[in-house]
Structure 1
Amino acid sequence: MDQLSALLARHELLPLAWEAAREAALYLRDERPSTLVIDSKSTQVDAVTEMDRGAEQRLVTHLLGARPTDGFLGEEGGERDGSSGVRWVVDPLDGTVNYLYRIPMWSVSVAAEVDEQSVIGIVVAPEYDEAFVGIGGGGAWLVRHALTDPVWVEQLHVGDCANLGMAMVATGFGYSAQRRQEQAAVMLAIAGQVRDFRRMGGAAIDFCWLARGRLDGYYERGLARWDVAAGALIAREAGAVVTGLWGDSVYEETMVCSVPSIAESLRAVLRKAQG
């Protein structure tokens, strides 16, 4: 048994989730038209394309075709109740604006929940040919060459960071102009207390890069469940502390994720800055 097969055998839902996420990722990478049809959602800069919708439809068909009694929640409007106790939570194209501008930081995010808790999560980043896999209680993993020759697997562990002043921290901004101004003010307030900031434009990749040791902290206000369900599990299983700003729930208005050594100090400065 190769490394990927051994990994997917760790949970009964992983093989199906892997194939569904990989199919959607290949569709987005290989079938992008020369001109995209772009609509807007919450504001004029909150973009959605036919590729977002097409990827979600492929996920619905693949996942619910195999497990028709499962529930489903997707960013592009796909929602249904199920009777099996399992619900799929997907973001078919996390980082749509990056995708529009051909910036490589976009991904497909697929999680399975039981009792509203993620039990598996997969994030596929096609432009990097990488996939990240998290298993509740079973660790987090990087699959290299995920869309070409996915046989090499590495267990993930968060990086080391001595203190907040040495931390590389990611964040994201919302789509409303007022919200972005508020978020910029928070970032400015803590800028002198961290090493530097990165703004990737995709929550799933932020979580996974922290799990990979490419970031030390990540916080964001206003994330949706599909932004968080897979990536937060992957980060937590790699050793990150993932909570809300004021409590334990990652689904609070503001989510905070970091390596353990800066968890309390990062939340403290964010609380002071955000009020």
Structure 2
Amino acid sequence: MTVDDDALLAHALVTDAAALAARMRREPGLEINRKTSVSDVVTAADHAAEDLVVRRLVEAHPDDAILGEEGASHTGTTGRRWVIDPVDGTYNFASGSDYWCSALALLDGDDLVLGAVAHHGSGTVVVGGPELPTTVNGTPVDLLDAAADLSHLSAATYLHPAGVQRDEIREPFLRAAARPATIRMLGSGSMDLVGVATGRLGCWFQHTTPEWDWYPGAAIVQGAGGVARQVVAHGVTWSVAGPAEAVGELARSLEGAGS
């Protein structure tokens, strides 16, 4: 099995998961439940899309491990692990917005192999990884400019209102948010990271990012020549991605260096 074979499988899985979720959203009476807050929701489409991906992964790679946002867990023996976000941006999805996607990542041990993201609204599927040049519907993206000036870039991020009350989150966030040209808060980490890889957004940073919100997009950014790294500031882990120099400046700002 090669990385190209894995990429083809990931492409098909996220495409079908997104199509299933979109079809269920069009049907009346979609079940929506609250998880941890009014903005953290899950729908029947999340569960159905995750079940689809898990079933087909187990058929194709029964010895690989699986982790899904909605509770899927499969113990593997190969050292490889698939991480699933069946609907990333569920609040957007449930609200009728098209800023959501289905996302999938593959790791081999601690090494990120690839990420795949399907945006059903535009019919685009983005696949890439550290050793796999990022493509949009099979067409390679332009490589990111490593020396891009952060002060000229947008930065996508997310900060829940509860985070504003915590000094260890608020202060690093404010330091980092003061550096880019503008801030965008759009509600889907994988969609944001695809935006970074394709040039629609400049860079990205977020605290306490779950694996399923980080790995698919991080792989895609790396496949576009960008950097994806995590830093710890005041005991909180921040995920940062984008052009190399911009990521370095954001990381230093989060850590308080030079502030």
How does the TM-score come out when normalised to structure 1?
0.83
Preserved contact between residue 171 and residue 218 of structure 1 (Cα < 8 Å): yes
Residue in 2 aligned with 1:178? Answer: 162
Preserved contact between residue 172 and residue 255 of structure 2 (Cα < 8 Å): no
Shift of 1:191: 4.4
Residue in 2 aligned with 1:112? Answer: 106
SS of corresponding position for 1:34: coil
Residue in 2 aligned with 1:50? Answer: 44
Preserved contact between residue 197 and residue 242 of structure 2 (Cα < 8 Å): no
Residue in 2 aligned with 1:23? Answer: 16
Deviations 1:201-238 (A, max 9, x none): 01101111101111222100011111111110110121
Number of residue pairs matched?
253
Residue in 1 aligned with 2:83? Answer: 89
Residue in 2 aligned with 1:98? Answer: 92
Residue in 2 aligned with 1:260? Answer: 244
Residue from 137, 143, 151 that aligns with 1:157: 143
Q: Give, as a single letter, the amino acid of the residue that structure 1 aligns with 2:209.
A: L
SS of corresponding position for 2:214: helix
Q: Distance in 2 between matches of 1:34 and 1:173?
A: 32
Structure 1 ranges of 4+ moved more than 4 A: 159-162, 180-192
Residue in 2 aligned with 1:64? Answer: 58
Q: How does 1:1-16 map to 2 (within 5 A)?
A: 11-16=4-9
SS of corresponding position for 2:143: coil
Change (3 A) 1:134 1:91: same
Residue in 1 aligned with 2:187? Answer: 201
Q: Give, as a single letter, the amino acid of the residue that structure 1 aligns with 2:218.
A: A
**Is residue 2:209 matched to residue 1:223?**
yes
Shift of 1:135: 3.3
More strand by share: 2
Shift of 1:10: 5.6
Structure 1 spans left out of the alignment, 5+ residues: 1-8, 144-151
Q: Give, as a single letter, the amino acid of the residue that structure 2 aligns with 1:72.
A: I
**Which stretch of structure 1 is more off in the superposition, 225-234 or 42-51?**
42-51
Q: Give, as a single letter, the amino acid of the residue that structure 1 aligns with 2:86.
A: P
Q: Distance in 2 between matches of 1:72 and 1:10?
A: 17
Preserved contact between residue 103 and residue 115 of structure 2 (Cα < 8 Å): yes
Q: Distance in 1 between matches of 2:195 and 2:145?
A: 10
Change (3 A) 1:162 1:233: closer
How does the TM-score come out when normalised to structure 2?
0.88
**Is residue 2:224 matched to residue 1:238?**
yes
Q: Distance in 2 between matches of 1:233 and 1:256?
A: 12
Residue from 248, 254, 259 that aligns with 1:270: 254
Change (3 A) 1:191 1:83: closer
Q: Give, as a single letter, the amino acid of the residue that structure 2 aligns with 1:51.
A: A
| Two-structure CA RMSD over aligned residues (Å) | 2.5
